[in-house]
Amino acid sequence: MFGRGRSHIRAEPMTARNPLRVRLLLAMVYIPVFAAGAVLFGVWGLWSQAGDSPDPGVLMALSFICAVLALLALGEAVGIHHRRERARTRQEDAEEEEPEPDTPEEPGRPEHRPDGQERHGPGRGIG
């Protein structure tokens, strides 16, 4: 039904990988391509005269489209970088929060038990 999100059928492959690396690679390739297209079409449009083929208006429109696509690719790259940094920070935080191995308490200090009672060492019973 509507609004319930995508149902999972468990048909996804077990070795599926996150596509962020490929998306970042594509964005990094297309940023300079579209930026160069915007500059080249813009310069060509400025040098061409009315009545030339292609029309200067068409060249400027192509320049504008290339500039918008370059900005979209840049936004995608920034978003992917931010997402990867956030995942890396979460992973580092999870590694820091790993429980330390149980160490024996200092002599003379009661050990704390999960049930809230304190256990005193041998010979220190409370009677």
**pLDDT tens, residue by residue, 50-104:** 888 899 999 999 999 999 999 999 999 999 999 989 888 888 888 777 666 565 5
- Give the angle 110-111-115 at the CA atoms, nearest 5°: 120
Token pair of 88 as six digits = 């890396």
Q: What average pLDDT does the chain have?
A: 80
Q: Give the mean model confidence (pLDDT) for residues 101-124.
A: 57
Lowest mean pLDDT among 8-22, 38-52, 104-118: 104-118
Predicted TM-score of the model (pTM): 0.60
Lowest mean pLDDT among 18-22, 27-31, 46-50: 18-22
Q: What Rg, from alpha-carbon coordinates, does the chain have?
A: 31
As a whole number of angstroms, the distance between CA 84 and CA 25 comes to: 13
Q: Are 111 and 105 in contact (CB under 8 A)?
A: yes
Element (H, E) at 74: helix 56-96
